[in-house]
Structure 1
Amino acid sequence: MRRAPKISVFLLAGAALGIVAAMGLTFAFGGTEDASPNTGLEYSQGQVFGFLALICIPVGLAVAGLIALLFDRSSSRHAREVTVSHESVTDNPAGDPA
């Protein structure tokens, strides 16, 4: 018998942490009103959040996936074999011979 972690839960948590990290990075640095020296364009905070989310969410997914795999490996070491027998039970009302 082996208890394995639900990888989907870990991946959702990783994506959520990626979004939180992108928000934190967006608002932690004040930014500037100057145009970008590379593109010559000015980016709003929403655009910066979008760019950071494109990076932070996959990183969060990857880290959470690796943690889930480590937990899965750890749980496979503690696996044990069990035997289960199947029994059928029928309910006979009183006075009804079976």
Structure 2
Amino acid sequence: MSIPSFPDDRAAADAPVESSPVEYRVEEHIETLRVRRSPKYSVFLIAGAGLGILVAMILTFAFNGTGDTSPNTGLVYTSSQVFGFLALICITVGVVLGGLTALLLDRMLAGRTRDVVVDRESVRAED
């Protein structure tokens, strides 16, 4: 089927419109929903991990004990190795603390639930 081309908009407005043989059925449902706010856990977990990295950096460079030998093994650790060890521990602790903070906020906000009446409408095409 080819689309006719019109020289201007007035001719397009005067063109006949074909009627569609498709019928639509509209269904309405009124429902009651419970709405409440909850924190985004991923944001709290990422913030806890970021805080853990920051704490690991501060601890690495605040206490410069990298020139000393380990009393058990006799090895000398570089500052990047010390940072890696501290980062493993601090990131884990930060993620746990961030998750606990999100859980506490979720429990505090759970009391602020409210019921909302919603008019749900669905339109279906029938042939």
Using the size of structure 1 for normalisation, the TM-score is 0.85
Q: Percent identity?
A: 64
Distance of 1:86 and 1:52 partners within structure 2: 53
Shift of residue 24, structure 1, vs aligned partner: 0.4
RMSD: 1.4
Question: Given the alignment, which residue of 22, 25, 40 partners 2:56?
Answer: 22
Distance of 1:83 and 1:26 partners within structure 2: 56
AA of the residue aligned to 1:46: S
Give the paired residue count: 89
Unaligned runs of 5+ residues in structure 2 are 1-34, 123-127
In structure 2, relative to structure 1, the CA distance for the partners of 1:22 and 1:46 (3 Å cut) is: same
Q: Which has the higher strand share?
A: 2
Q: Which has the higher helix share?
A: 1
Counterpart residue number, 2:67? 33
